[in-house]
Amino acid sequence: MSAPLLAVERITKAFGDLRAVDGLSFDVRRGEVFGFLGPNGAGKTTTLRMIMDITRPDSGTVTFEGRPGLDRRRVGYLPEERGLFEDAGVLDTLAYLGVLRGMSSTDARAAGRRWLERLALADRARSRVNQLSKGNQQKVQIAGAILHEPDLAVLDEPFSGLDPLNQELVVRLVGELRAAGHAVLLSAHQLGLVEGLCDRFLLIARGRPVLQGTLREIRRDAARGADQVLVATLRPAAPAGNGADGAATLERMWPGQSRRVRTLPDGALELELSLPHDADVGPLLGELAERFRIERVTMRELSLHEIYVRAVGGEADEGQAGAGAPARAEGTHV
């Protein structure tokens, strides 16, 4: 295994009495997309700002290719907050950002034009940034973070403000960066998009690691023996039955098993029941068939959303309680 491009070793950061980041360690390798996840107030943005040397850690180290500090010409950064000059022209903005990252003015303008074409914004090259929609401003900011083809792209909430089509565009762009051998450190809340995009994940809560590894590894660790889900669409077997009675029946069955029951718009019930991977579902389906008409049954693995909720759901509220003060002090979210 090659040495990591970025290594974060036991970094901590406190704002007054609140420890926003508490002994966090991870690494990012070339040619991978690393998902950095956690609830609001967990310390994600503070961590990314320490990586970018915007905020200094109280302790711990951040190294790039084994050396302290970052070569900003080789790193691209998309902050969570909007960071564009609103009165500047769109192409001028991209050219300026390219020059800041070591490109010549000619190369930066040429790259800016290519990116505007790619993002369907070529006709807005002479517009001012504040004449664009929030989604288009986000696309410009994403282009500004990667137009110099950085070895490492640090992207904080890249999908923010984007419609589904443009979210898919960003997914493709991130995939292209990985295919070209670049590394991407990605923080996002759109778990459905992130699940199929990232090679490894780190879930944090209250500034500390909760789960880390590939999707298979974090699914195993979060499942605690129940790593698959039975999904059944049901209707009460008796004609006089009703959805409310059926839901209550399902809630009483199989004590101790994690389940979710909801009523669908057409009146059917949907049961999601967590099971061990080696569970014998035959007897379970037999019990269901005694009380319900089974319309559909599928088995699936835990989704990233379910892993996230299991792993950090219990800590999210506590972690957000004190997040406001440091967010104001830093001018961003922790």
- Tens of pLDDT, residues 203-244: 999 999 999 999 989 988 887 767 788 999 999 876 544 556
- Residues 245 and 126: their CA atoms lie apart, in Å, by 63
3-state secondary structure of 71: coil
- Residues 21 and 209: their CA atoms lie apart, in Å, by 10
Question: Cα-flanking dihedrals φ and ψ of residue 146, to 5°?
Answer: -130, 5
Q: Which residues of 185-195 are buried (b: 16+ CB within 10 A; e: fewer)?
A: bbbbebbebbb
- Residues 63 and 75: their CA atoms lie apart, in Å, by 13
Does the 6-221+308-330 domain belong in CATH 3.30.930.10?
Answer: no
Q: Which amino acid is at 59?
A: S
Q: Are 235 and 292 in contact (CB under 8 A)?
A: yes
Predicted confidence at residue 315, as pLDDT, reads 57
Q: Is the pLDDT of residue 334 over 50?
A: no
Tell whether pTM > 0.75.
yes
Q: Which amino acid is at 226?
A: A
**Higher local confidence (pLDDT), 4 or 244:** 4
For residue 156 the two structure tokens come to 């904080």
Going by C-alpha positions, the residue among 136, 122, 75, 123 that lies closest to residue 100 is 75
Chain region(s) in the chain for CATH 3.40.50.300: 6-221+308-330
pLDDT average, residue stretch 288-303: 91
Chain region(s) in the chain for CATH 3.30.70.3100: 228-301
Going by C-alpha positions, the residue among 230, 250, 229, 235 that lies closest to residue 294 is 235
Pick the CATH number of 228-301 from 1.10.10.10, 3.40.50.1820, 3.30.70.3100, 2.60.200.20: 3.30.70.3100
